[in-house]
Each structure stands twice: as structure tokens, then as C-alpha cells.
Amino acid sequence: MEKNDTRAMNNRNNNHRYKVEMCSMKAPSNFLRNFKNPWRPSPSVDLTQTNMQPAYVPCNGCKHLLMVEENTRNVCCPSCQTITSVTKKKITRESEIPKGNYGKEMEANGLFPMDLPAPRRAKRAVLCGVTYQERKYRLKGTKYDVKDMYGLLFHYLGFSNDSIRLLTDEEKTPNLVPTKENIKHALQWLVKDCQAGDSLVFYFSGHGLRQPDFKNDELDGYDETICPLDFRTEGMILDNDLNTTLVRPLTRGVTLHAIVDACHSGTILDLPYVYDTKRKNWIDNHPPSGTEKGTRGGFAVCISACQDDKLAADTSAFKGKVMKGAMTFSFIEAIKRNPNRMSYGALLDSMQNTINQVNPGNCFKVKLQKLLRCNTIPEPLLSSSEKFDVSSTIFKL
């Protein structure tokens, strides 16, 4: 068994997302190998330039229809990651597909080219997973986190494929790499022309840091940040920026959920209220400067991996061989167990129960953890643009 450890980005005194390993086996590499991102256009299939009908095959796993190029031998499903062999018997042309549910499945699987105008979606999401490849501070769990979150939104929560923008540093398409500029553009797309009834999701899995606050809008004196792939050269994305881009534009009837699995992410959206799970009440988080941090009538909620002064964790304790972000894993498991009607309080309790399985409470195991230099996984934090009854308000994406 490997010892749990904390790695620094630059030196041992820096705070960052730490790793909790419970298995000596390394996680498999090359996430999303052959993954066909719905936001990446296929260079060899251009429906605007040819009269040829698109060809589809059913996925061997989830049975969704997958568009295939000419002479393709195998195709990887973007939803369940199943590899399906392409044979003449399996191929179906567009004119042969019955309308109705199949048409909806085609649309949900992103079977329309990116360069064609996509219909406006009431549910939209931006998912960012940054591994910082080939750097000494790289993360193993984030590439699995973002894939799992994509699967949750698509399979369980009714998000169509063309409503999700997925940014990972394994992408070959330049505008899908999670650089600072690309993340900002994606967030602007997320809230653009938002209107009543919209449900927006921002997910980030990667490093988070803190830096001194010079605007007097932080109670603890520090700005929280997320680290894009190029943060060493282009800088970090501050909580002030995320609040301005994501929170302030929200009009009445629009709901935003941010799920941030990073260190120091407690108040990463600078929302006015933070929920205390022990006292069961809301804590005022308004900035001392009096700067307005709320919405324009919309509703913003953030579920963070830890408090502002804590470190998030990657761990293989849940799945043995594969590193996972502890907060992401516990969040997804909670939703899968009850995807329809679950209050925010029940969601937090379910997440904490999952985490407690890795954070045993008896004295002997606590001493064993200290002996092995294990870091306990912190409890998730809920913040909001307004106070609400956590025990009765239903969580819904």
C-alpha cells in the first residue's frame, strides 16, 4: 500500500490539490482514446459540401446511434466509451432511420456537424478537466472526473450532446484545450442570452490556489482561483472573474450550478451566502467593500470540494485502480442513487457519507492514518446567491 501524500506545485510550502492513493497500481493512461468530441467537427464528413447521406451504426453498449465516416472500421461511443466495429450490415443511412425517438437520439448524440446552426438548449454545460500533462504537478484523477461528469449529465440528467462543451488538455482541437482564454470563451457561451427556464452547469476539475486580495472583497483576505492549463504564463482565473462572467449575468428564472473539484474552492464564485452543515444555517459572505456579487434575479449555487483554506483530494480508495476526485465521485454517486427528487441537504449528506467511508472515525484508524501520513478528505461546501431551505429545496440540474 502506498502512503498518501501531498505534492506541491513549486515547493513543499505551496498549497494545491493533493493525492490520496490507496493502491500501488497506476491508473490507465490516454483517457478518451478515440473519443469523438461532439464539439470537434469531422474533417472528412462535411454535410454542407456533399449530397451523401450520413451513415450511422448502433453502439454495442448504450445502443445510441453513432455517425461514422466512410471506411471507418471502429467507432468509440462518446457516452459509454464502448468500441463498436463498423460492418455493412450495421450501417444505416439517414433516410432509413424512422422519425420520432430516433431523431431525438441522433440530436442528443451530437450527430449534426458543429458548423451547422445548433438549436438553442435550455440545458447547457461547460466541463473542464485539466491534468497538466508532463508537468511535475500533474493530476491523475481529473481526466476521469470530467468523463464521469459528462456521462452523468448525458445519461441521467437529460443534457444533449450538443449542449455540453468539454475542455481537456488531451484535445487536439485548439479551442477545446482548457487554456485561460478558451475557458473564458466557454463560460461566456454558457450564459449568453440566458433566459427564464435555463439550467446551466459549470464543472471544473484541476488545481486551485489562493492569492492576496487587494480589493477588500474577501472576508479572509484571499482571492480563490482556478488554474487553467497555461496558468504559469497567462495567469489564474480569479473568483472575481468567475463571479463577473457567470453569476452577474443571471436573470430571473435562470439557474446556475457550479461544481468545482479543486483546492481552496469554497467560495470560488464569491457568492453572498455559505452554508454551515454543522449549525444548519447560512453564513453571510458579502464582501466588506460592499461590491455587488449577486445575480440579476437568477439563482446561483456552487458545490465546492472544500473550504477556502483546505485542500481537495484525488483518491483511488473508491475504485482501487483508478484515481478519482473525491468530491466528484461522491457527487456523482449521490445523483445516481437518487436522480429525481433529492434535497440539497440530502445531497450533501450523501456526499459526506461516501467520503466518510474513506475517512474512518474510530481512533485506531485515525492513528493509522497519521502513521501513514494520510490526508483526510474534506467535506464539500455549499454556497449560494440567496438563502433557501436546504432540507426541502429539491436539487435539480
Instruction: Please list the active-site residues.
Output: 207, 263
Cell of 284: 453571510
What crossing angle do the helices spanning 326-337 and 142-151 adopt, rounded to 10°?
Answer: 20
Closest CA to 172 of 29, 44, 36: 36
Q: Are 129 and 145 in contact (CB under 8 A)?
A: yes
β-pairing, 164-168 vs 324-325, is unpaired
Q: How far apart are CA 13 and CA 127, in angstroms?
A: 30
Spell out the alpha helix ranges (H) of 220-296.
231-234, 239-242
**Cα–Cα distances in angstroms (integers) from residue 348 to residues 127, 141, 314, in the given order:** 21, 21, 19
What is the SS3 assignment for 338? coil
* DSSP string of 67-115, one letter each residue: EE-TT--EEE-TTT--EEE--TTT-EEGGGSPSSHHHHHHHHTT-S-TT
